Amino acid sequence: MSQPVINTFAVIGVGLIGGSFSRALKQAGVVKRVIGFDLDSANLAEALQLGVVDEIAADYAAAVSSADLVFLAVPVRAMTAAVSACAPFLRPGCVVTDGGSVKDELVVACEQLVPAGCFFVGGHPIAGTEHSGAKASFATLYQGRRCILTPTSRTDQQALDLVQRLWEAAGSRVECMEPLTHDRVFAAVSHLPHMVAYALVHAVNGSAEEEENILAFSAGGFRDFTRIASSDPSMWRDIALMNRLPLLAMLDRYQSEFAALRERVASGDGAWLENYFTTSKRLRDEII
Ligand SMILES: NC(=O)c1ccc[n+]([C@@H]2O[C@H](COP(=O)([O-])OP(=O)(O)OC[C@H]3O[C@@H](n4cnc5c(N)ncnc54)[C@H](O)[C@@H]3O)[C@@H](O)[C@H]2O)c1
Ligand SMILES: O=C(O)C(=O)C[C@]1(C(=O)O)C=C[C@@H](O)C=C1
Residues 237, 105 share a domain: no
Query: Which of 144, 177, 210 is where one domain is finished?
Result: 177
What does the pLDDT read at residue 1?
A: 58
Whether pTM exceeds 0.80 = yes
Ligand 2 pocket: which of 20, 101, 227 to mutate (most atoms within 8 A of CB): 101
Structurally, the chain folds into a number of domains equal to: 2
Q: Judge if 29 and 155 occupy the same domain.
A: yes
End-to-end CA gap in the chain: 29
Whether 128 maps to a domain, the answer reads yes
Question: Residue 277 corresponds to which amino acid?
Answer: F
Residue range(s) defining the domain that contains residue 199: 181-287
Residue 151: the pLDDT is: 98
Q: Is residue 1 part of a domain?
A: no
Query: Does some domain include residue 161?
Result: yes
Angle at the Cα of 117 (from 112 to 122), degrees rounded to 5? Answer: 50
The residue nearest atom 15 of ligand 1, judged by CA position, is 16
Q: Of 124, 148, 177, which marks where a domain is finished?
A: 177
Any atom of ligand 2 within 6 Å of the Cβ of 101: yes
Asked if the structure places residue 263 within a domain, the reply is yes
| Torsion sign, CA atoms 50, 52, 55, 57 | negative
Domain containing residue 10: CATH number? 3.40.50.720
- Mutational pocket test of ligand 1: of 12, 16, 60, the residue with most ligand atoms within 8 Å of the beta carbon: 16
What integer pLDDT is reported at residue 288 of this predicted model?
85
Whether 104 is in a domain gets the answer: yes
| pLDDT value for 154 | 97
Query: Is ligand 2 within 6 A of the CB of residue 126?
Result: yes
- Secondary structure tally for the chain: helices H, strands E: 12, 9
Query: Ligand 2 center to residue 129 CA distance, Å?
Result: 6
* CB neighbour list of residue 155: distance below 8 Å, 6 or more residues apart: 111, 119, 120, 121
Local confidence pLDDT in tens for the 288 residues of the chain: 578 889 999 999 999 999 999 999 999 999 999 999 999 999 999 999 999 999 999 999 999 999 999 999 999 999 999 999 999 999 999 999 999 999 999 999 999 999 999 999 999 999 999 999 999 999 999 999 999 999 999 999 999 999 999 999 999 999 999 999 999 999 999 999 999 999 999 999 988 666 678 999 899 999 999 999 999 999 999 999 999 999 999 999 999 999 999 999 999 999 999 999 999 999 999 998
Instruction: Assess contact for 94 and 69: CB atoms under 8 A.
Output: yes
Whose atoms come closest to the Cα of 132: which ligand?
1
| Cα-to-centroid distance, 127 and ligand 2 (Å) | 6
| Domain assignment present for 244 | yes
Q: What is d(CA 98, CA 79) in angstroms, rounded to the nearest whole number?
A: 8
Q: Which of 19, 25, 23 is nearest to 4 (CA)?
A: 25
Work out which ligand 2 atom sits closest to the CA atom of 190.
10
Q: E strands of the chain, at which residues? A: 6-12, 31-37, 55-56, 69-72, 95-98, 119-121, 123-125, 146-149, 173-176
